Amino acid sequence: MSKNQSLHKKYSKYYSQNQKILKKLQKALKGNNNEAATALQAQLDNFEKEFQIVRNDKVRYLSELNEKDSKKLHQLSEQYDALSIERSKWMEKANLRVAPDGKLKTLRHLNKIGQRKGQKYVRRMIKVAEKMQDLENRINHRNQDIMQVEENKFVPLGFWARLVKFWKSIPYEKQQKIWGYIFCVPWVIGFLIFFLLPISESLWWSLNTVKPDKGVLEIQWNGLNNFKSLFTDYVDAYGNTFATVLANSLVSLTLNLIVVVIFSLIIAVLLNTKFKGHAFVKAIFFIPVVFNATAIYFATEGLGGRLSSSMSGNFTIANDFNNLLRNMSLPDRFTSFLVTAVNQIFSIVNMSGVQILIFLAAIQSVPASLYEAAKMEGATKYEMFWKITFPMVSPIFLTAAIYTIIDGFSKSSILGFYDIAKGQSAYGISSAVAVMYFLFTLVFIGAVYYIMKARLFYYDEK
């Protein structure tokens, strides 16, 4: 138990006893019991002397803490001033108009370094300023407590009351972060309990030859041989190697990612307009998410297969569409991209349900005041979309992209190799497939995040 907790517990004990004696004294006075009142008053006077010693100890301890924090605050203030001076030096270089040697290349280099270093010192200054503000708040709270203790007005709070008081003293932004961590805790616990062990076991099996032997699994270390065998020896039902299927999956997923995200945004913008049957149309786009996988499979094999065959030349509309694109003298890659997108229109609609809803929610959460101000400035709807709607929903692009990637990989033909290896009781190979599947998913998501994070706009209402 710390000294602060010990003093608080001791003060609370004396305070509660003091209140009990006062209540008994008031009751004796009301009942005109002079003898009891005299005895209680004497007891209260003796107890008050002991209580005063406890109050003095608490005041002394709080004053010592304030003195230590004041020294820290002074040191942080000096550190802040030193950082400010360094920042000014670098910002002078960032704002140079002529280089010392007169060369443009040197000037750009100095400006770039000055800006980067200046921003670095600004971030450090912000951290120091936050620490200074925290110390000032602590000192002010302690000064209030000292004043109340000296005036015998300090009421010790219980555990929950102190917890509520501490929570209210935390800035709102930090409260939001804490709530975010609290909501993530159940998922982290679930991952550690239900997923960490299977993942570790799969990683271990991928480096071993695992075969059933007399009712048990025989595990023998073979290093990276499972991965080599996966890329060289295994083929799917169509004779494609794992490397070929992986490359095709990455290309297909990239195309689907672009098309699904753009398609979802367009549909969300259209659904945001008011028209009759708005809720019904929204439900139609979300139906593929609600239906089970079996229904989607039969629908894809039926109508989806018909659409796919239409684009291969069995229907004149498909041929007309291809000829139209060719007559427009568009690049071959762009034409192929459009044909592929139309060919997979059923799959695209099937994969876009959740993305449409989150884009729609993001669009509807844009403050109406921004559109009103734009209208007053004479902006058109086209300009409002690109200057307001698109930047405001840009953070949702990352969410939609990650969801699309995970959804796409979950339907990838890579998993066919897992079934083949598992059917042959080659658990080491199947674990290697799972590890490769996980790594490529992780790398793909990381690449998309790295590309998109610098282009996201976060609106600050302050």
Predicted confidence (pLDDT) per residue in 58-74, tens digit = 888 889 989 999 999 99
Q: Average pLDDT in the 214-238 region?
A: 82
Answer yes or no: is pLDDT of 139 > 60: yes
Q: Which two tokens stand for residue 276?
A: 């009759």
pLDDT (average), residues 45-64 = 83
The Cα 375–Cα 334 span in angstroms is 36
pLDDT for residue 317 is more than 70: no
Domain boundaries, the chain: 3-168, 222-453
Q: For residues 383 and 386, what is the distance between their CA atoms, to the nearest angstrom?
A: 5
For residue 430, give the nearest of 169, 215, 150, 229 by alpha carbon: 229
Answer yes or no: is pLDDT of 442 > 60: yes
Residue 82's pLDDT is 92
Instruction: Let me know: does 396 contact 415? Beta carbons within 8 Å.
Output: no
pLDDT of residue 75: 93
pLDDT, tens digit, for every residue of 160-205? 777 887 788 788 888 888 999 999 999 999 998 888 888 898 899 8
pTM of this prediction? 0.58
When pLDDT is averaged across residues 324-348 and rounded to a whole number, the result is: 68
Q: How confident is the model at residue 313 (pLDDT cuts 50, 70, 90)?
A: very low
Q: What is the mean pLDDT of residues 343-369?
A: 84
> What integer pLDDT is reported at residue 111 of this predicted model?
82
Distance CA 338, CA 332 (A): 10
State the residue for tokens 């044909």. Answer: 339
Report the C-alpha gap between 70 and 76 in whole angstroms. Answer: 10
179 vs 74: CA distance, rounded Å: 33
pLDDT score, position 343: 65
Pair 380, 397: CB distance under 8 Å: no
Residue 312 has pLDDT above 50, yes or no: no
Who contacts 142 (Cβ-Cβ below 8 Å, separation ≥6)? 62, 65, 66
On the question of pLDDT at 206 being above 60, the answer is yes
Query: Does the pLDDT at position 102 exceed 80?
Result: no
Instruction: Say if residue 352's pLDDT is above 80.
Output: yes
| Range 353-366 average pLDDT | 89
Contact predicate 228/451, CB 8 Å: no
- Of the pLDDT bands very low, low, confident and very high (cuts 50, 70, 90), residue 209 is confident
The percent of residues above 70 in pLDDT, for the chain, comes to 85
Whole-number pLDDT of residue 338: 66
Give 332 or 177, the one with higher predicted confidence.
177
Reply yes or no on whether the pLDDT at 289 is more than 60: yes
- C-alpha–C-alpha distance, residues 95 and 116, integer Å: 12
Region 333-361: what's the mean pLDDT? Answer: 76
Query: What pLDDT score was predicted for residue 119?
Result: 87
Q: How confident is the model at residue 298 (pLDDT cuts 50, 70, 90)?
A: low
Q: How confident is the model at residue 460 (pLDDT cuts 50, 70, 90)?
A: low
Q: Which one is predicted more confidently, 163 or 268?
A: 268
**CB neighbour list of residue 441: distance below 8 Å, 6 or more residues apart:** 405, 406, 409
Say what the pLDDT of residue 462 is: 43
Q: How many CA atoms lie within 13 A of 322 on its CB side?
A: 14
Specify the range with the lowest mean pLDDT, choosing from 41-50, 173-182, 314-323: 314-323
Question: Please, what is the average pLDDT of the chain?
Answer: 81
Name which residue leads in pLDDT, 360 or 457. Answer: 360
Average pLDDT over residues 381-404: 90
- Tell whether the model's pLDDT for residue 316 goes beyond 60: no
Report the distance separating Cα 254 and Cα 262, nearest Å. Answer: 13
Confidence tier at 78 by pLDDT (50, 70, 90)? very high
Percent of the chain with pLDDT over 90: 14
Specify the fold of 222-453: MetI-like fold (1.10.3720)
Distance, CA of 219 to CA of 31 (rounded, Å): 87
129-133, 320-324, 386-390: which range is least confident on average? 320-324
Note whether 361 and 264 are within 8 A (CB).
no
- pLDDT over 70 (residue 305): no
Contact present, 405 and 257 (Cβ < 8 Å): yes
311 pLDDT band, cuts 50/70/90, is very low
The answer to whether 374 and 383 are in contact (CB under 8 A) is: yes
Spell out the SS3 assignment of the chain.
Answer: CCHHHHHHHHHHHHHHHHHHHHHHHHHHHHCCCHHHHHHHHHHHHHHHHHHHHHHHHHHHHHHHHHHHHHHHHHHHHHHHHHHHHHHHHHHHHHCCCCCCCCCHHHHHHHHHHHHHHHHHHHHHHHHHHHHHHHHHHHHHHHHHHHHHHHCCCCCCCCHHHHHHHHHHHCCHHHHHHHHHHHHHHHHHHHHHHHHHHHHHHHHHHCCEEEEEECCEEEEEECCCHHHHHHHHCCECCCCCEHHHHHHHHHHHHHHHHHHHHHHHHHHHHHHCCCCCCHHHHHHHHHHHHHCCHHHHHHHHHHHHHHHHHHHHHHCHHHHHHHHHHHHCCCCHHHHHHHHHHHHCHHHHHHHCHHHHHHHHHHHHCCCHHHHHHHHHCCCCHHHHHHHHHHHHHHHHHHHHHHHHHHHHHHCCCCHHHHHHHHHCCCHHHHHHHHHHHHHHHHHHHHHHHHHHHCCCCCCCCC
